[in-house]
Amino acid sequence: MKSRWCMTVFALWVLTITGLGWFFVKGWTAEGSDGRTEILLAAAERDQILAEMRQLLKAVDGVVRELGEPKPDLKQMEAAARGVGMHMAADTEPAIMAKLPLPFKQMGMSIHKDMDALADAIVQNETPQQVLRRLSSMMARCTTCHDMYRFRAS
């Protein structure tokens, strides 16, 4: 009897771990009508993720605007990039992160890490061309992500 109970508990544990692993990779998703993967979020969660994306876009805009100036304000450029670095990602609620598919999470984290690296590069006086190359690489990932995913409020 005890052996059967232990096997049942073990089987439930394996199923739970497998299920959690599957949701960690797949997230809460559905196939969208336009071929993209829809990420299913509550309306407030969707708004939070989209607000974060707008902050990232504003940071890129701030860096690009400064690069267009005859004498760019390096401190302002660094602050724009650093403001959307990894510390921003740390504020994301675990419940939202659980709903995001793994490739989305990976792209998002790479952008936040690269924004910190961009801030470091600005402090180290990289040339405007080097900074633009970094931004170009990041923007390519942003457009790839937008081509792959969309949000649907549930």
Do the beta carbons of residue 81 and residue 108 sit within 8 Å? no
Q: Domains in the chain and their CATH numbers? A: 2-153 (1.20.120.10)
The stretches in the chain having pLDDT less than 50 are: none
Please, what is the Cα angle at 91 between 90 and 92, to 5 degrees? 95
- To the nearest 10°, report the CA torsion of 121, 126, 130, 133: 20
The letter for the amino acid at 128 is P
Give me the pLDDT at residue 27, please.
77
Condensed to tens digits (0 to 9), the pLDDT of residues 27-57 reads: 789 999 999 999 999 999 999 999 999 999 9
Give me the pLDDT at residue 107, please.
95
Q: Which residues contact 71 (CB under 8 A, 6 or more apart)?
A: none
